[in-house]
Amino acid sequence: MAAASTTAAPATCYDTPEGVDVRGRYDPAFASVLTRGALAFVAGLQREFRGAVRHAMEQRREAQRRYDAGEPPRFDPATRFVREGGWRCAPVPPAVADRTVEITGPAEPRKMVINALNSGAKVFMADFEDALSPTWENLMNGQVNLRDAVAGTITFRDAARGREYRLNDQTAKLFVRPRGWHLPEAHILIDGEPAIGCLVDFGLYFFHNHAAFRAGQGAGLGPFFYLPKMEHSREARIWNGVFERAEQTAGIERASIRATVLVETLPAVFQMDEILYELRDHSVGLNCGRWDYIFSYVKTFRAHPDRLLPDRALVGMGQHFMRSYSHLLIRTCHRRGVHAMGGMAAQIPIKDDAAANEAALELVRKDKLREVRAGHDGTWAAHPGLIPAIREVFEGHLGGRPNQIGDAPAGQEAATVTAEDLIQPPRGARTVDGLRLNARVGVQYLAAWLAGSGSVPLYNLMEDAATAEISRVQNWQWLRHGAALDAAGVEVRATPELLARVMEEEMARIQAEVGRERFRQGRYAEAGRIFSRQCTAPELDDFLTLDAYNLIVVHHPGAADKGE
């Protein structure tokens, strides 16, 4: 139990309710979000839903055993009535009818949160997931940033550049993306077990911000969320229960909270109607999370040598299985009256090369044009510099309308999408250069993640946990099945020996690129070891970030013993 301070000395530990231990570093700013009431709320959610979460995770493993044994993911005959029924989701909240451009970025650093809110995007998705390395410092600073953002008081002074950051009069509407169901929060123990990461992210944010959000940004509704990495509608049902519990606890109307679910796993594409149905009073759409989706395709078909991916750079939205997924998502959302959101082009502005920058922008424009023509209602931008071009494409196409939810379907393609279309293997070459690039990008991303940065620019592209996962699982898949790789016209087999040689050469190349000093001080060597181990593991690890998580957990004994 927490011992409330009885002296005038400043507190140095968190005031926790029964059964809750906070093992993260004490900081008065963190204590302002880790209040006794907020922690009790999170603990209540964990106690009510932990059994269902455990069951859902076991069901994921069970489904994977079936895929490994040769049964592909499919539409569930038992829920045909849901797919065929004429139900609709709750009406779209007027505050977010227009979501043509959404910027995404980690909830920390603070400067980025202000930049994103001021970016001219309609929505800012503040990320505790793919774009954030879940260190204690990042998570808690992220909560502090979001509280100040919702209050409208967030500011930042960049002393080195003499720059002040504050909010514009008009800002993007805030959506928050908590972590996926699979990730623990090891700095908070509830009844002796690590907290469920997403319940910490959701719970703290909701507890402190629901009133201010509804009074301001949400115009009576909200808060708004993005929900990642679900594999089945039973997981959406848990979120729906969490939302209902949160609404009851806060004493606000049912269906205030709204969420967009990322359809970013292959099993989930067969469950889109079912996911929307579970969340029908709390839904505000689905999103094509293309990068995790590609990662999930490899994971789902890990045991199948006939479904090897070509080089990562070739697996874009033009591949048949990706196009089919986007079309079916749009049709599903519009039938149910909610937004069908597009995804993230990986290109970011290139500062020192105007021609290359224009070429990158052109790729983004093309991607967005494809999305809006297909019927998407809005899309994601990784960087503020892309927003004018993306807005031009979407606004040009929509001609002043906030979305195209009520429009007739853009084409007939979606009406005929079959299960076979959704799993058709992508086409293209597999090369040793692809294996190399995966290694070079995967290691540098992991080094950054271990050092606390969850999204980084690498070779002029945005890299985050989802894109790095593709690099990892693709190399694993090629090695596992001894894929034939092209090496300048010569065919070589993907083997652990080949990977070992590639890793040695790529580590040397990374060192040359980042410089000896930065290499020595960074966590590159450790990242190289983890990446190699992951790519050669006999069984594919479910998540790189789960394996590496223990390396960023820092327990502060002083925080837990409370000086008793």
Ligand X SMILES: CC(=O)SCCNC(=O)CCNC(=O)[C@H](O)C(C)(C)COP(=O)(O)OP(=O)(O)OC[C@H]1O[C@@H](n2cnc3c(N)ncnc32)[C@H](O)[C@@H]1OP(=O)(O)O
Please identify, using beta-carbon distances, which residue of 130 and 278 lies nearer to ligand O=CC(=O)O.
130
Q: Hey, which residues between 332 and 371 contact ligand O=CC(=O)O (CB under 6 A)?
A: 343-344
Q: Hey, which residues between 445 and 484 contact ligand O=CC(=O)O (CB under 6 A)?
A: 466
Binding residue for Mg ion, selected from 203, 289, 375, 454, defined by CB under 5 A: 289
222 binds ligand O=CC(=O)O (CB under 6 A): no
CA–CA separation, 174 vs 128, rounded Å? Answer: 13
Please identify, using beta-carbon distances, which residue of 194 and 289 lies nearer to ligand O=CC(=O)O.
289
238-277 mask for Mg ion (x: CB under 5 A)? --------------------------x-------------
- Report CA 31 to chain centroid distance, whole Å: 26
In the complex, least distance from residue 444 CB atom to Mg ion, rounded to whole angstroms: 19
71: buried, middle or exposed (CB in 10 Å: 19+, 13-18, 0-12)? exposed
Alpha helices in 384-523 (DSSP H): 387-398, 419-423, 432-450, 465-480, 496-514, 516-521
291 binds ligand O=CC(=O)O (CB under 6 A): yes
Please identify, using beta-carbon distances, which residue of 120 and 457 lies nearer to ligand X.
457
From the CA atom positions of the chain, what is the Rg in Å? 23
292 binds ligand O=CC(=O)O (CB under 6 A): yes
Please identify, using beta-carbon distances, which residue of 267 and 289 lies nearer to ligand O=CC(=O)O.
289
Q: Which stretch binds ligand X (CB under 6 A): 109-117, 239-247, 493-501, 522-530?
A: 109-117
CA–CA separation, 560 vs 22, rounded Å? Answer: 6
Minimal CB distance to Mg ion: which residue?
Answer: 292
CA–CA separation, 259 vs 329, rounded Å? Answer: 16
Binding residue for ligand X, selected from 344, 405, 435, 483, defined by CB under 6 A: 344
Please identify, using beta-carbon distances, which residue of 185 and 292 lies nearer to ligand O=CC(=O)O.
292
Is the Cβ–Cβ distance between 197 and 134 less than 8 Å?
Answer: yes
Binding residue for ligand X, selected from 402, 411, 428, 457, defined by CB under 6 A: 457
DSSP 166-197: E--SS-PEEEEEPPPTT-EEEEEEETTEEEEH
Give which of 491, 472, 460 is closest to 363, Cα–Cα. Answer: 460
Residues 6+ apart with CB under 8 A from 236: 227, 230, 261, 274, 275, 278, 279
CA–CA separation, 262 vs 288, rounded Å? Answer: 6
266 binds ligand O=CC(=O)O (CB under 6 A): no
Alpha helices in 337-464 (DSSP H): 354-374, 387-398, 419-423, 432-450
In the complex, least distance from residue 324 CB atom to Mg ion, rounded to whole angstroms: 19
216 binds ligand X (CB under 6 A): no
283: buried, middle or exposed (CB in 10 Å: 19+, 13-18, 0-12)? buried
Contact of residue 127 among ligand X, Mg ion, ligand O=CC(=O)O, none (CB under 5-8 Å per partner type): ligand X
77-116 mask for Mg ion (x: CB under 5 A)? ----------------------------------------
Tokens encoding 48: 């009510």
- Report CA 261 to chain centroid distance, whole Å: 10
What is the dihedral sign for C-alpha 42, 124, 221, 32?
A: positive
Binding residue for ligand X, selected from 382, 437, 441, 507, defined by CB under 6 A: 382
What are the residue numbers of the active site?
177, 464
In degrees and rounded to multiples of 5, residue 178 shows phi and psi of: -75, 170
Where along the sequence are the contacts to ligand O=CC(=O)O (CB under 6 A)? Answer: 130, 262, 264, 289-292, 343-344, 466
Q: In the complex, which residues of this chain contact ligand X (CB under 6 A)?
A: 103-105, 111-112, 115-116, 127, 130-131, 291, 344, 348-349, 382-384, 455-457, 462, 464, 466
